[in-house]
Amino acid sequence: MEKFELHILGCGSALPTTRHFPTSQVVNIREKLFMIDCGEGAQLQLRKSHLKFSRLNNIFISHLHGDHCFGLLGLVSTFGLLGRTADLHIYSPKGLEELFSPLLGYFCNNLLYKIYFHEFVTNKPTVIYDDRSVSVTTIPLQHRIPCCGFLFAEKQPPAHIIRDMIDAYNVPVYELNRIKNGADYITPDGEIVPHSRLTRPSSPARKYAYCSDTRYVESVIEQIKGVDLLFHEATFAQAELPRAKETFHTTAQQAAQLAKAAEVKKLVIGHFSARYEEENILLNEASAVFENTVLAKELLCIEV
């Protein structure tokens, strides 16, 4: 099975604590790294995760609150110090380029690589990235400012060649890619050998959904239906529901209700309020509704 991993770099909320870094994650799909949000300290956590800086070419920013983007300038600068030459693409709601351009011009004016900012709308799902391995679609959320989550949908891997059958029919090497991608094989004598006889199906394509920051919105359910892994913010416990509503955040119980309604396979909760010295209160609350729930924590790696 091809690699598809989620690395948690930080899972705290806006107020700093000694327990958590601000929000940042890295998705590793077939050794391509995609960063989601870039709070302060993200590059330090990237080092600790033993992930290669050179494989990170795309960064997705959910919204323009500092705890989700204050780490960008340091990361961009470090890339420069490392002699990076590959382009860097940053996707965000409108406004990030305008905010960061003066800082980049002052602190990072001798970069050997180019930075491209891509703005996306936040009121409808939009495909903002697509390659042979994965597509990334925005998930409209409801926060105090324009905000989107992200749906990472793996492309179906090619079928696996059955080596014994390939040898039995003396299939030339140059035919293998066609066969893996669904073509039948025609022998020199004109016999048609079905694709299904020469291959076995690859593993099902997987999906990861990221939803932070947002109030409880049932409109996301259809878009995240059946995903293999869902990260959903759980800033507060249910006892703080009025505060959650006021700040456009979600409780752990509400996150679990969404996971259950969407029939996801696994839920990881994070973006914890600094008021909780012990997050098990949030885990217990969510697990009572959706059993397959885990707490996010720094340097946690989850295989999708």
Q: Which residues are catalytic?
A: 67
Structure tokens at 254: 């509400």
Strand partners, 211: 232
Burial class from Cβ neighbours inside 10 Å (0-12, 13-18, 19+) for residue 70 reads middle
Structure tokens at 301: 């790696």
Report strand pairing: 32-38 vs 24-29: antiparallel
Q: How far apart are CA 21 and CA 14, in angstroms?
A: 9
CB 61 within 8 A of CB 70: no
User: In sequence order, what are the residues at sequence separation of 6 or more whose Cβ sits closer than 8 angstroms to the Cβ of residue 122?
Assistant: 93, 138, 140, 141, 146, 147, 148
Report strand pairing: 88-92 vs 115-119: parallel
Spatial CA neighbour of 232 closest among 261, 184, 269: 269
Going from the C-alpha of 69 to that of each of 36, 75, 198, 200, the distances in angstroms are 10, 10, 49, 44
